[in-house]
Amino acid sequence: MSTLPNHFTVNFWGVRGSIASPGSGTVRYGGNTPCVEMQVGGQRLIFDGGTGIRVLGRSLLSQMPVDAHLFFTHTHWDHIQGFPFFVPAFIKGNCFRIYGAIAPNGSTIERQLTDQMRHPNFPVRLQVMEASLQFHNVEIGKSVQIDDIEVENALLNHPGQAVGYRVNWRGHAAAYVTDTEHFPDCLDKNVLHLARNADVLIYDATYTDDEYYSKQSSKVGWGHSTWEEAVKIAKAAGVKTLVIFHHDPLHEDDFLDWVGEQVACAFPKGVMAKEGMSLQIFPPTLVPEATNVLEIANIPETAEVVEDIQVSV
Ligand SMILES: [Zn+2]
Ligand SMILES: [Zn+2]
């Protein structure tokens, strides 16, 4: 089933970085690793297959057949480990067009997802998936066109390479920029390009500046950025709504509340990504008392959740 033709909505199914982090301290922001769904112009675009994609998959079971475009930033575990548990991929009649850049070692996205599910890593091979899986190698700097939707990309600054994306549709734009580390002396031109005047910028702000520059345990060179750098980029690029994303597994709910307060002081249209959060870019749903600030809603419940199809290991 396709999505509403005249809508542009961003749904957050996994917002945690590095490793899934369930527990009493992460209940409110969520412990699943990256997966962001954009329903835009009647199409469904999915970014990354972290553990959040398992939850998205369950919601899609009541909307089959599913035809979706799945873009990977890179294949670090936190961005692919949900894919073997993405039930719609096992069901005939569904179709997934899968995009990713060729890794520096020459490995394609098809090869990397296949290897993840190869014995003895996983008991079920990718070839068992009965949906139509069509793999595409992303060429850096070359857009992908899907109807009247354009998906731009650019390289990010991350160990082993990562790719950021920007979705353009009828004058609106949302950028998905994770995993990336800022430069010490200048703003990253690629990030600025992806973020330019975007309605929504989703940005890797794993750390605070204090943690990043900590003398005891510096995070310089680890491939991630900070909320302070997120605000700098958002201001320089003319971003409307900034979403702080890829939360550190050590950052529990109360700490993320505190980060959110700092972000809101520095950038009033800055919000913390939360699992289950939904931002509607078009038609715009705005907070009544603050015009131009997107309303934060929960992802609507689907009519029915199908319980009897599972992947077990
Ligand atoms: Zn990551
Ligand atoms: Zn990574």
Tell me the CA–centroid distance for residue 114 and ligand 1, in Å: 19
pTM (predicted TM-score) = 0.95
How much is the pLDDT for 14? 98
Residues with CB under 5 A from ligand 1 (ion): 17, 78, 179
Tell me the CA–centroid distance for residue 162 and ligand 2, in Å: 7
Structural contact between residues 123 and 313, judged by C-beta atoms closer than 8 angstroms: yes
Phi then psi for residue 187, to 5 deg, are -75, 145
Digit-coded pLDDT (tens) for 124-173 = 999 999 999 999 999 999 999 999 999 999 999 999 999 999 999 999 99
Structural contact between residues 158 and 164, judged by C-beta atoms closer than 8 angstroms: no
Q: Measured between alpha carbons, how far is 1 from 68 in angstroms, rounded to an integer?
A: 9
How much is the pLDDT for 101? 98
Please work out, in degrees rounded to the nearest 5, the angle formed at the alpha carbon of residue 17 by the alpha carbons of 260 and 287: 35
Q: Is residue 256 part of a domain?
A: yes
Q: Is residue 129 part of a domain?
A: yes
Tell me the CA–centroid distance for residue 193 and ligand 1, in Å: 21
Q: Is residue 288 part of a domain?
A: yes
Closest ligand (CA of 204): 1
Q: Is residue 307 part of a domain?
A: no
Q: Is residue 221 part of a domain?
A: yes
Q: Is residue 162 part of a domain?
A: yes
Q: In total, how many domains does the chain have?
A: 1
| Spatial CB neighbours of 171, under 8 Å, sequence gap ≥ 6 | none
Torsion of CA 33, 42, 169, 241, to 10 degrees: -40
Check whether the bond before 5 is cis (ω within 30° of 0): no
Q: Which long-range contacts (C-beta less than 8 Å, at least 24 apart) are formed by 295-303?
A: 296/271, 299/11, 299/12, 299/13, 299/59, 302/59, 302/60, 302/62, 302/63, 303/62
**CB count, 10 Å around CB of 74?**
23
Digit-coded pLDDT (tens) for 14-58 = 999 999 999 999 999 999 999 999 999 999 999 999 999 999 999
Helix/strand/coil for 34: coil
How much is the pLDDT for 5? 87
Q: Measured between alpha carbons, how far is 23 from 207 in angstroms, rounded to an integer?
A: 20
Structural contact between residues 98 and 70, judged by C-beta atoms closer than 8 angstroms: yes
Tell me the CA–centroid distance for residue 79 and ligand 1, in Å: 6
Q: Which domain holds residue 278?
A: 8-296
Tell me the CA–centroid distance for residue 197 and ligand 2, in Å: 26
Predicted confidence (pLDDT) at residue 295 exceeds the cutoff of 90? no
Q: Measured between alpha carbons, how far is 109 from 74 in angstroms, rounded to an integer?
A: 8
Residue that wins the pLDDT comparison between 17 and 284: 17
Q: Burial, 222: exposed, middle or buried (Cβ in 10 Å; 0-12, 13-18, 19+)?
A: middle
Question: In CATH, what number is assigned to the domain containing residue 252?
Answer: 3.60.15.10
Digit-coded pLDDT (tens) for 189-230 = 999 999 999 999 999 999 999 999 999 999 999 999 999 999
Q: Is residue 55 part of a domain?
A: yes
How much is the pLDDT for 1? 52
Q: Is residue 311 part of a domain?
A: no
Tell me the CA–centroid distance for residue 7 and ligand 2, in Å: 30
Tell me the CA–centroid distance for residue 180 and ligand 2, in Å: 8
Tell me the CA–centroid distance for residue 288 and ligand 2, in Å: 38
| Spatial CB neighbours of 14, under 8 Å, sequence gap ≥ 6 | 30, 32, 33, 34, 35, 36, 48, 50, 51, 52, 53, 55, 82, 275
Strand partners, 133: 96
The sheet carrying 132-138 orders its strands as 132-138, 95-101, 67-71, 43-47, 35-40, 8-14, 277-282, 296-298
Q: Measured between alpha carbons, how far is 236 from 127 in angstroms, rounded to an integer?
A: 45
How much is the pLDDT for 313? 58
Token reading at 230: 């997120």
- 4 pLDDT tier (thresholds 50, 70, 90): confident
